Amino acid sequence: MAVRKVGTCDITRELGRGGMGVVYEAEQVMLGRKVAVKELPAELAKNKEFVERFKREGKVYAALQHQAIVGIYDLVEKNDAYYLITEFVDGADLSKLMQQGGALPPVCAAIVGARVAEALDHVHFHKLLHRDIKPANVMLSRYGEVKLMDFGIAKDQTADDLTRDGLLVGSPSYLAPEVLGGERNDAQSDIWALGVTLYELCTGQKPFTGKDQGSLFLAIRRGRFAPVRSLVPSVPSRLAKAIERCLKVKAKDRWRSAAALGAELDICAGRFLQNFHPQARLLSLMESRGYALPVDNRTAIDAGSLIITIDEDSRSMPAPPRPAAERWARALAATVLVVAAACACAAYWMHLRP
């Protein structure tokens, strides 16, 4: 590793890398805390547009002070390189959690969704758009905290966009129909993306798919998807309806705000939490999927919540859908049985008539 120190931080290890940066774990020795350091790749640091985007991401983080949004500590320029120093979240993103154990228990999906919706409402209140809501950009800490991250393509609704006209920004599977249609992004596009994320958390699969990007975009614009409960009947009806409302093709038919969606998801979660604290429930989910707390923090785990979550975890991943031919055969067999039963009843009543 070329760089060992950034500002007051000592780099300890690489956490991951992507097209827009490399993320390291580091330690602020004087303060005795872990932090995350995101570095803009050297090849991109030579491009003024990418440097401006990187700086804008730092300014966006600085403008947002919310418990469900990763906090920022500093923006450092060193030897023509750029670094963002942010809060370190000890845990896993939702994408990794699903890889570990499939779909989340519905109550956990509702709790996570409510916290992300609250964070989005805070973002929208500041006239900003996230534009990249997806499971990989939501972290769940080993302490049961939900953190929205990666504002690399966030947009200030009051400022000019850095994206050239005609270019789509965001992850294809989470783009709203109006975005694909070339309309201006707004808060409803973020709500759509959160709906896709919640659908994925509850069912283990995306609502819209295609063999290529063209067919995927066509599916999104048509807005046809399998109802949540047709894939996972155990998802409560109210939660399923809340998710499906996010996925209405016309933006005006979705939730009027992220705050309204968050309030509904809190109600959905509250019906099943009973006496358990939401954070304890998420904490026990992390425990059940292999992200155990340090030994000295284990007293924070609600034993009853842990038992229930492990039990739900074992039942959360839906069975793979049956092939179409098998579904049609089952439907035909059921129809034949119904008709046969009706004929038998008719014959019986005819026999009883004088």
- Residues with catalytic annotation? 132
Side-chain half-sphere exposure of 306, counting CA atoms within 13 A: 16
69 bridge partner residues: 148
Spatial neighbors of 208 by CB under 8 A, at least 6 apart, are 173, 196, 216, 219, 220, 225
SS (H, E, C) the chain: CCCCEECCEEEEEEEEEECCEEEEEEEECCCCEEEEEEECCHHHHCCHHHHHHHHHHHHHHHHCCCCCECCEEEEEEECCEEEEEEECCCEEEHHHHHHHHCCCCHHHHHHHHHHHHHHHHHHHHCCEECCCCCHHHEEEECCCCEEECCCCCCEECCCCCCCCCCCCCCCHHHCCHHHHCCCCCCHHHHHHHHHHHHHHHHHCCCCCCCCCHHHHHHHHHHCCCCCHHHHCCCCCHHHHHHHHHHCCCCHHHCCCCHHHHHHHHHHHHHHHHCCCCHHHHHHHHHHHCCCCCCHHHHHHCCHHHHHHHHHHHHHHCCCCCCCHHHHHHHHHHHHHHHHHHHHHHHHHHHHHCC
